[in-house]
A and B are shown apart, each in its own frame.
Chain A
Amino acid sequence: MPKGMMVLVSLAMLLLLSGQSAYAQESVVLIANPSTPPGSMTRETVRAIFAMRQRTLPNGEAAHVFVLPDKHPLHERFTKEILGVYPHQLRLSWDRMVFSGTGQAPNEVGSVEEMRQRVASTPGGLGYLDKGAVDDSVSVLSVE
Chain B
Amino acid sequence: MIASAFYRWSNHVCRYVHGAALGIGALIAGTAPAHADVLDTVQVHGFLSQALIVSRHNDFFGPSSQDGGSLQYTEVGVNASMRPTNNLLVSAQVLSRRAGDDNSHYEPKLDYGLLDYQFITGNKRVAGVQIGKLKQPFGIYNQTRDVAFTRPSILLPQSIYFDRTRAPALSSEGISVYEEEHLHSGILHFQAGVGKANTDRNVKETIWGSRVPASIDGALSSIGQVAYEHGSGGIVAALTVAEANIDIDGPPGAPDRYSFQPIIMSLQYNHGYWSITGEYALRRQSFEGGASDQSITGESWYLQYSQRFLEDWQWLLRYDSLVNDRADPKGKKFESDGRGVDHSQFAKDWTLGLQWNATSDLLLSTEYHHVDGTGWLPRNQDESDRYWDMLLFQASWRF
Contact residues of A with B, CB < 8 Å? 1-2, 4-5, 7-9, 11-12, 15-16, 19, 21, 41-42, 44-45, 47-48, 53-58, 60-62, 69-70, 83-86, 88-89, 91-93, 95-96, 98-105
User: How many B residues, CB 8 Å from partner?
Assistant: 60
From the candidates B92, B187, B235, name the one contacting A101 in the complex (CB within 8 A): B92
Beyond A95-B150, A99-B143, A101-B112, 20 additional contacts (C-beta under 8 Å) are: A4-B301, A8-B303, A9-B267, A11-B276, A12-B267, A55-B83, A55-B87, A56-B118, A60-B86, A83-B232, A92-B149, A95-B147, A98-B43, A98-B45, A99-B47, A101-B92, A101-B114, A102-B89, A103-B89, A104-B41
Query: In the complex, A86 Cα to B121 Cα: how many Å?
Result: 25
Distance between B355 CB and nearest chain A CB, rounded to angstroms: 11
Indicate with 1 or 0, residue by residue over B30-53, a CB within 8 angstroms of chain A CB atoms.
000000000001010101000000
From the candidates A4, A89, A91, name the one contacting B278 in the complex (CB within 8 A): A4
B25 at the interface (CB under 8 A from A): no
What chain B residues lie within 8 Å of A5 (beta carbons)?
A: 278, 280, 301, 303
Indicate with 1 or 0, residue by residue over B77-107, a CB within 8 angstroms of chain A CB atoms.
1010101011101011100000000000000
Asked whether A8 and B150 contact (CB < 8 A) given A89-B233, A101-B79, A101-B112, the answer is no
Contact yes or no, B123 A58, CB < 8 A: yes
Query: In the complex, A89 Cα to B87 Cα: how many Å?
Result: 25
What chain A residues lie within 8 Å of B267 (beta carbons)?
A: 8-9, 12
Asked whether A4 and B319 contact (CB < 8 A) given A11-B276, A98-B45, A99-B144, the answer is yes
Contact yes or no, A48 B81, CB < 8 A: no
B209 at the interface (CB under 8 A from A): no
Contact yes or no, B93 A101, CB < 8 A: yes
| 15 sampled A-B residue pairs with Cβ under 8 A | A4-B319, A16-B269, A21-B231, A42-B124, A44-B123, A53-B180, A62-B85, A62-B86, A91-B360, A96-B144, A100-B112, A100-B143, A100-B144, A102-B130, A104-B83
B126 at the interface (CB under 8 A from A): yes
Distance between A131 CB and nearest chain B CB, rounded to angstroms: 21
Query: In the complex, A88 Cα to B274 Cα: how many Å?
Result: 12
Query: In the complex, A53 Cα to B120 Cα: how many Å?
Result: 12
What chain B residues lie within 8 Å of A99 (beta carbons)?
A: 45, 47, 77, 79, 93, 143-144, 147, 150
Asked whether A56 and B121 contact (CB < 8 A) given A4-B319, A88-B308, A101-B112, the answer is yes
What chain B residues lie within 8 Å of A104 (beta carbons)?
A: 41, 43, 81, 83, 89, 91
Asked whether A85 and B144 contact (CB < 8 A) given A55-B87, A102-B130, A103-B89, the answer is no
Chain B residues 295 to 321 lying within 8 A of chain A, measured CB to CB, are 301, 303, 308, 319, 321
Query: In the complex, A11 Cα to B267 Cα: how many Å?
Result: 11
Closest chain A residue, CB of each to CB of B275? A89
What chain B residues lie within 8 Å of A62 (beta carbons)?
A: 83, 85-86
Query: In the complex, A96 Cα to B183 Cα: how many Å?
Result: 22
Query: In the complex, A54 Cα to B181 Cα: how many Å?
Result: 12
From the candidates A42, A44, A54, A85, name the one contacting B118 in the complex (CB within 8 A): A54
Query: In the complex, A19 Cα to B269 Cα: how many Å?
Result: 11
Contact yes or no, B121 A60, CB < 8 A: yes
Main SS class of interface, B: strand
Closest chain B residue, CB of each to CB of A123? B37
What chain B residues lie within 8 Å of A95 (beta carbons)?
A: 144, 147, 149-150, 398
What chain B residues lie within 8 Å of A16 (beta carbons)?
A: 230, 234-235, 269
Asked whether A48 and B180 contact (CB < 8 A) given A2-B301, A16-B230, the answer is yes
Query: In the complex, A83 Cα to B187 Cα: how many Å?
Result: 13
What chain B residues lie within 8 Å of A48 (beta carbons)?
A: 126, 180, 182, 187
Contact yes or no, B89 A85, CB < 8 A: no
Contact yes or no, A44 B86, CB < 8 A: no
What chain A residues lie within 8 Å of B134 (beta carbons)?
A: 101
What chain A residues lie within 8 Å of B130 (beta carbons)?
A: 102
Closest chain A residue, CB of each to CB of B81? A104
Query: In the complex, A69 Cα to B359 Cα: how many Å?
Result: 12
Contact yes or no, B303 A4, CB < 8 A: yes
What chain B residues lie within 8 Å of A96 (beta carbons)?
A: 143-144, 150
Query: In the complex, A11 Cα to B135 Cα: how many Å?
Result: 31
B116 at the interface (CB under 8 A from A): yes
Chain B residues 329 to 372 lying within 8 A of chain A, measured CB to CB, are 360
Contact yes or no, A42 B269, CB < 8 A: no
Asked whether A12 and B235 contact (CB < 8 A) given A60-B86, A96-B143, A96-B144, the answer is yes
B252 at the interface (CB under 8 A from A): no
What chain A residues lie within 8 Å of B87 (beta carbons)?
A: 55-56
Contact yes or no, B118 A55, CB < 8 A: yes
Asked whether A19 and B271 contact (CB < 8 A) given A58-B122, A84-B231, A99-B77, the answer is yes
From the candidates B91, B182, B271, B272, name the one contacting A44 in the complex (CB within 8 A): B182
Distance between A14 CB and nearest chain B CB, rounded to angstroms: 10
Distance between B24 CB and nearest chain A CB, rounded to angstroms: 14
